[in-house]
Structure 1
């Protein structure tokens, strides 16, 4: 049981780290784009849009740190708050990607087709990476919230003389114990 919890905690920490890396990568790309747009445009519509994007991802970064604290202390309330925030951030990310694509189609400032292709590969691959990581993390988070809400303890004991499988659950505040034993024949 301890080994399973340790593996789950290690896997969860890896996914937190991946989410932080994805956010930092996306923030770096957006900062780079911001510098480009400042150079090409004098405080126009694009500047305001990118400031919003950077502010949103800084908020996401801060809330991820709060979530890590909540997950470490197993506070379901913080985890549910972050779950709903993650869904909202995913929707906002998709909206901002669509806006960014529309703005890029109106301002073709690339000197050549290869510059446009290089820019597209950098930016749109980072968009795709961030969106996929966010969706996967939302599924993991939902699963963890459900496990913590159910607060079930499951164990297997496999002795050569007797096999035992027991599960303890507290559903709606009522503890229930289920046990099954079979004799080895």
Structure 2
């Protein structure tokens, strides 16, 4: 039982952390919304960038919120989702959703497409946080995949915890999650 709870606690905490970063990023970007809308009236490129900013940030926030709700639901003792198949299905859905959001955001929020703007510190911070969020989405996706894998293999006790902990540590370090 503990080998099923620990991955969910980790995912819940990490998802809440990611949701906080997503909120901060969206809040920072909204400060430049009015100027972006004015630019979008005159430039198709600016309009497209504004649309991509909104959709990529929304995609990330929704997939992270889904991760939080799923992990919380599976952790609550009065929710009757206890079957291994349900855990595997929810793990697969979250893995896929987070991975798709990660790929979608990574196409727009990267060093190739985003340029640091001089004298606009908050906007530059939002760019950096968005790039960081892309890495965090990858780590969360891998965490759900690893959790599903450990539930499928069903290693018990210390071995299950050691397996999950080791794999998540490696993924976090490689993905630059924190």
With the shorter chain as reference, the TM-score category is 0.5 to 0.7
Q: Does 1:139 align with 2:142?
A: yes
Higher helix share: 2
Question: Structure 2 length as normaliser, TM-score?
Answer: 0.63
Shift in CA distance, 63/139, structure 1 to aligned 2, threshold 3 Å: closer
Shift in CA distance, 76/61, structure 1 to aligned 2, threshold 3 Å: farther
CA distance in 1, matches of 2:123, 2:103: 21
Q: State the partner residue of 2:109.
A: 97
CA RMSD of superposed structures (Å): 3.1
CA distance in 1, matches of 2:151, 2:48: 41
SS in 1 for 2:32: helix
Q: Aligned pair count? A: 145
Higher strand share: 1
Shift in CA distance, 153/7, structure 1 to aligned 2, threshold 3 Å: closer
CA distance in 2, matches of 1:93, 1:59: 8
CA distance in 2, matches of 1:131, 1:39: 28
Gap runs ≥5 in structure 1: 157-185
Larger radius of gyration: 1
Q: Higher mean Cα deviation, 18-27 or 70-79?
A: 70-79
SS in 2 for 1:24: helix
Shift in CA distance, 79/53, structure 1 to aligned 2, threshold 3 Å: farther
Q: How big is each residue's C-alpha offset from its partner over 1:46-92, in whole Å with a ceiling of 9 and x where there is no partner? A: 23332333234334433434334443146321221221121221111
